[in-house]
Amino acid sequence: MSESVTESKNIQLEQAIRGAEELISSLDHPGANQLLEEVLRTPFPASNELNHARLLLGETSLVIGRWERALRELERLVEARPVEEVLIRSKLGLGELFSMRGEPDQARQHLSQALQPAEQSGHERWIVLAQVRLGALAGQTGELDTAKNLLEKAEKGCLEKRSQREWVEIGAAMDTQWGLYHFRLSQNRAAEEKLEGALEALRAAQLCSLEEPTILRYLGVMASLKREYKRSLQFHLEALDLYGHAGNRYGQAKVYDSIGRTLQGANRLDEAIFTFKKAESLCR
């Protein structure tokens, strides 16, 4: 392939990456995924740009529920031994995928393999994010002491940086996990404060983030437990709208399940049954 053709293809990839990242920044993961699929139908020579495009394809496929596609792309990237940031993000993506599939051991392995190179190279953002993801996984599997230890490390790592825009989302993700840690210990007021603070930080920075519907769902769950059913449904419907815009079927299913439980608690049983069925249909 001539040098001019190679240069032209690299420019094409760079434009696709910029376009995809712009769509992702507004939570249009389906649009970004489609854009990348169309561009990558054309063969490209091996390059950092190609790996970056494939990473974004894998990450957006994960969000919109194309899990086999995500697995294929992320595993391919790991085997290609890409630049360090792409390797770390690929491992984080694989960890998230196996966590959602209910395979915590494999999830933990991939997340740990993301943390190790991040620590070796001193990539602070990826260190903290890997610690938060590992802390989240530990919380899900009932290892609360481990979760607390990891979240304390993450908090120390980003303490002086949280006001910086590029750290806001990670800080919110960490506070969400602190909220869930307190919730699991029945410290509901402390949990609410952490979740509300995380939501406020995202909105103050005007960031479009998938962390926001996650927080809204948990706030809805907590409102439901206090029998504040109307407030609970408001939180859940906000979360549902954001997940729907992002094409996140997994998130939508979890919200519909939570809405069903809220309706069940409010003795609106027919609506609850319908909503549970909706959640089930999204998981197929």
Q: Which of 35-44, 141-150, 195-204 has the lowest mean pLDDT?
A: 35-44
- Render pLDDT for 36-90 as a digit per residue (tens, 0 to 9): 999 999 888 889 999 999 999 999 999 999 999 999 999 999 999 889 999 999 9
pLDDT reported for residue 159: 86
pLDDT value at 20 more than 60? yes
Q: What is the mean pLDDT of the chain?
A: 95
Torsion region of 170: left, alpha or beta (phi above 0 gives left; psi -120 to 50 gives alpha):
alpha
Please state, for a pLDDT cut of 90, what percent of the chain lies above it: 89
Nearest CA to 84 out of 36, 57, 116, 44 is that of 116
- Burial of 4-26, coded b for 16+ CB within 10 Å and e otherwise, reads eeeeebbeebeebbeebeebbee
Query: Average pLDDT of 107-129?
Result: 96
Please state, in angstroms and rounded to a whole number, the distance separating the CA atoms of residues 203 and 212: 9
Q: What are the C-alpha distances in Å from 126 to residues 95, 116, 158, 170, 236?
A: 13, 10, 11, 9, 30
pLDDT reported for residue 87: 96
Q: In which band, very low, low, confident or very high, does the pLDDT at 192 lie, cut at 50, 70 and 90?
A: very high
Is 260 in contact with 276 (CB distance < 8 Å)? yes
pLDDT reported for residue 4: 62
pLDDT value at 2 more than 60? no
pLDDT reported for residue 6: 65
Torsion of CA 246, 247, 251, 256, to 10 degrees: 110
pLDDT value at 185 more than 80? yes
